[in-house]
Amino acid sequence: MRYLPHTKDDIDSMLETIGKPSIDSLFDSIPDKLKTKEPLDLPQALTEWELDDHMHNVEQSIIASGLCTYFIGAGSYDHYIPHAVKYLISRSEFMTAYTPYQPEVSQGTLQGIYEFQTMITQLTGMDVATASHYDCGTALAEALLIALKKKKKKKVAVSALIHPAHKQIINTYLNPAGYEMLEIPFDENGRTDFSKVPDDDIAAIAVQSPNFFGNIEKLEQAKNACDEKKVFFIASFTEALSLGLLKSPGSYGADLVAGEGQSFGLAKSFGGPGLGLLAGTNKQMRNLPGRLVGKTKDSNGDRGYVLTLATREQHIRREKASSNICSNNGLNALTAAMYLASVGKTGIRKIAQQNHDKAVYLRKKLSEAGFTFPFETEFFNEFIAKAPEGFADTRKRLIEDRCLYAGLDIGQYFPDFKDHYLFCATEKVKKEDMDNLALEVKAL
């Protein structure tokens, strides 16, 4: 209690008011067997400069992402973040993840979220977007829950090429509630085989494009399969920058779109936090979970922004709410809005083109070095490659000696793809890094 500003007299007065003899008595409800009996084994206190040295030493023992070269994406991508975005988002007036309920004191934050929603609808081709979610996995699970509730079914069909972590999240959401996730297999081209959608009575079909293998899915086939079975069409993505080149999911007739927005100005940050994007048609507006910011006018006729359609939410309707999600990644959503405003429509297309072109070049160099490729399918900035014999040792050495991460071993997710790696190239990857990687492999 030494860091609390209360004097002994203050503490005694408060204890007397609530009828407790001591601070320890506040914890009488905790069983003795759960209480720590011995003092905590903590190091001696440090001076400020000693603590500064200690933290510096800890910092040096951790590899910072900016010092390494990555040929890995798989849902978390190493993109350039404009310095203007880094500066603006660090300002104190923006530094909150809290959703503003009080419009009279939160117009700036509310407008920022409104602008974010507008940009996401333009990118996804949908009518309405929420004020963001935790990450793509939770947004996708929420989209599937909408379908299950609206269709009054117990099962959904999900592409086997949706990110493995997202499939785990979906199961975590659905299984306790008595719902079931069925998988749709993929074909010889590394795309979802929509001719093999389970015949079970399902509520939705969900597909990710680009998929986990990096391949671009045939969303028109997904739409046809959904129409045939009269189910929800849910489109997903983990690489938001792909929308700079690819047609939007909304243009294919998606009912709901769930995605990961980390590529829009958010650092990898050792794996999180991310930015869940969730958008839908006007028909799904009241089914969407989380926050929606709307534009209105006040009593003087001036423009203003407010949280709207709040009857969907947990804090209003409790068990009738569309979801238990009761917050949004406000700071990350604002970061994404700043990023998109900074690069603009032309910029996002150019950055996306660089991603694709560099990935094509990397694939070419790896082919020359002895890699083979199981799929000849269109991709964005990721692709699967089978490594030549001995590559695993070279890959380990490159990590240890040069902090260069050459692909993700996907055998851990797909056992049939032993010695296959998922490679990624973003705009930050240099040509000489790709050339040097190919030379290392050739030297095997």
Tokens of 244: 């700079």
CA–CA separation, 124 and 147 (whole Å)? 19
181, 141 in Cβ contact below 8 A? no
Local structure of residue 247 (DSSP, 8 states): P
- Cα 13 from chain centre: 49
CATH code at 252?
3.40.640.10
Residue 422 lies in a domain: yes
Cis peptide leading into residue 185 (ω within 30°): no
Residue 190 lies in a domain: yes
pLDDT in tens, 215-260: 999 999 999 999 999 999 999 999 999 999 999 999 999 999 999 9
Task: Give the count of domains, the chain.
Answer: 3
Same domain, 331 and 221: yes
Q: What is the pLDDT of residue 308?
A: 87
- Rounded average pLDDT over 305-314: 76
Same domain, 115 and 172: yes
Same domain, 197 and 227: yes
Same domain, 150 and 205: yes
Residue 106 binned pLDDT confidence (cut-offs 50, 70, 90): confident
Q: What is the pLDDT of residue 273?
A: 87
| Residue 1 pLDDT greater than 50, yes or no | no
> By 3-state DSSP, what share of the chain in percent is helix, strand and coil, each rounded to 5?
45, 15, 40
Q: What is the pLDDT of residue 289?
A: 87
34, 26 in Cβ contact below 8 A? no
- Rounded average pLDDT over 305-331: 72
What's the predicted TM-score (pTM) here? Answer: 0.86
Q: What is the pLDDT of residue 442?
A: 83
β-pairing, 404-405 with 69-70?
parallel
Residue-number span of the structural domain to which 19 is assigned: 1-31
Residue 56 lies in a domain: no
- Rounded average pLDDT over 328-341: 91
- Between CA 288 and CA 297, with CA 294 as vertex, the angle to 5 degrees is 155
Helix (H) or strand (E) holding 418: none
Q: H-type helices in 286-329, by residue range?
A: 314-317
> In this predicted structure, which of 38-47, 133-142, 307-316 has the lowest mean pLDDT?
307-316
Same domain, 8 and 145: no
Same domain, 269 and 313: yes
Q: What is the pLDDT of residue 199?
A: 82
CA atoms within 13 A on the CB side of 60: 6
Same domain, 350 and 305: no
Closest CA to 440 of 410, 401, 385: 401
Tokens of 260: 């990961």
CA–CA separation, 174 and 148 (whole Å)? 10
> In this predicted structure, which of 9-23, 147-161, 309-323 has the lowest mean pLDDT?
309-323
pLDDT in tens, 8-29: 999 999 999 999 999 999 999 9
Q: What is the pLDDT of residue 3?
A: 64
Tokens of 378: 């269109």
- Rounded average pLDDT over 400-405: 89
Tokens of 243: 């929308």
Q: Left, alpha or beta for 372 (phi > 0: left; psi -120 to 50: alpha)?
A: beta
* Whole-number average pLDDT of the chain: 91
